[in-house]
Amino acid sequence: MDYLGNRVINTILFLILANLLYLLAVYQILKPKPFLSTRWVLVVGIVLRLAVWPLFPTFSDDVYRYRWEGQVQAFGANPYHVRPIDPAFSYIRDSAWAHVGTKDFKAAYGPLLELEELGVYRLLSRFVADPFAQVFWFKFPGALFELGCLGVLLALLRARNFPDRHILLYAWSPLPIFEFWVNGHNDSIPIFFILLALLGAAHRRWIASFLALSVAVATKIWPILLFPAFILSRSGGKPRWWQWLVVFPVFAVCALPYWGNVVENAEFASGFIGGWRNNDSLFGGLLWLAGGDLYRAKYTASALIVAVTLLIAWRAITLERAVLWTFAATLIISANCHPWYLTWFAPMLAFVPYPPLLLWQALMPVCYSVLLRWNILGEWDGSTPIRWLVWIPVFAYLPISAILEASQPDDK
């Protein structure tokens, strides 16, 4: 296993260089006569993933949290009721416990992910004794589901009559490769089910589509933002006013083992919109307009996200565009935008290769500079001026891209 924690600057520079090469490949693959077949695109994509798999996840401590939540469940506790710092469970602390993040917070993931963490921990504890080796193998579910994302995305491209070669926009993107195969984030699990939901919608199988979307919500709550788009989608004829109700039994079944007081957990989850700040852009302006009142800024951001989500659901031509712009707008408005959050809309770029969003992905590794202060002083400051090295080029490119797009002939 190799560690990147003491190579933060080198890793950031390498990721930016990899993204520049990726953008060049995107430019080439979108030409009428691409330079690679779909088969080779997939082969190279898989080789890139396997090449970085041995790297230990030192750019994120999320996998430590996944393991702890699985571990504490194996000892009979409800992860929504306890925290890593609780003295009642100090006896399960081991050499990996010091690296568990947000020790004073209860669980914030969906109940289906909690069940997954429990299952993975029980399986690993039978075969692997070393805590850090267990942490490493907690990357496996995220990587496995990310491979599934590749397969479902290819099927979705064919269902929507897009060229197979567009899979390169996701398969070669350094973002999912680094975040899922190095850092081990579990966002690939809800993304997989969102893609399944889109595939069901493409075939007009709306019950199956909402079932998959409901499973995505049961893993992480943020896919709930997509329900208006799926209900109002123009591609399905009349709005689907009742099919979406499947979310209630699905979520209830998954949440039943963890039932309890969810008020505190819901309040914590709302912090992603405005409870604390990481790489925010528009939220800083909302906070200024609110006179520094964090709660007022959070409520304003929440209202804006809801309004934008409904507007996109009403106006979007396709579901893929709705997913893309719903998540992109949410991240632009909210107070938190970690690099791996951009994976939420990354597969949709295969349908809408919008240059400012591709640039956003390419520059986002700059935000990992927060690790320099964290590794040296143990201080986390997620909203330093460095983030504007990402946001200013992206916001500047938005009007330029709009002008260039409007200047294109109608027949192109």
Is the pLDDT score of 240 beyond 90? no
Confidence band, pLDDT 50/70/90 cuts, at residue 6: confident
Place of tokens 């919109």: 273
Tokens of 8: 């933060």
Burial of 402 (0-12, 13-18, 19+ CB in 10 A): exposed
Q: Which residue, among 180, 67, 186, 193, has the nearest Cα to 118 in the 3D structure? A: 67
User: Residue 364 has what pLDDT?
Assistant: 96
Q: Where is pLDDT greater, at 251 or 356?
A: 356
Inter-helix orientation angle 188-202/140-159, to 10°: 20
pLDDT tens digits along 140-159? 999 999 999 999 999 999 99
Is the pLDDT score of 306 beyond 80? yes
Q: Which residue, among 115, 170, 166, 122, has the nearest Cα to 146 in the 3D structure? A: 170
Q: What percent of the chain has pLDDT over 70?
A: 93
Q: Which residue, among 400, 331, 393, has the nearest Cα to 366 in the 3D structure? A: 393
Is the pLDDT score of 57 beyond 50? yes
Tokens of 57: 């996840």
Is the pLDDT score of 308 beyond 80? yes
Specify the 3-state DSSP secondary structure of 336.
strand
Dist. CA 290–CA 285, nearest whole Å? 9
User: Residue 410 has what pLDDT?
Assistant: 47
Confidence band, pLDDT 50/70/90 cuts, at residue 264: low
Q: Specify the pTM.
A: 0.94
Confidence band, pLDDT 50/70/90 cuts, at residue 266: low
Per the CB < 8 A criterion, the answer to whether 139 and 56 are in contact is: no
Specify the 3-state DSSP secondary structure of 275.
coil
Is the pLDDT score of 69 beyond 60? yes
Per the CB < 8 A criterion, the answer to whether 189 and 114 are in contact is: no
User: Residue 50 has what pLDDT?
Assistant: 97
Q: Which residue, among 92, 130, 186, has the nearest Cα to 1 in the 3D structure? A: 130
Dist. CA 207–CA 217, nearest whole Å? 15
Q: What are the residues whose beta carbons fall under 8 Å from the beta carbon of 360, sequence distance 6 or more? A: 342, 390, 394
Per the CB < 8 A criterion, the answer to whether 254 and 278 are in contact is: no
Confidence band, pLDDT 50/70/90 cuts, at residue 411: very low
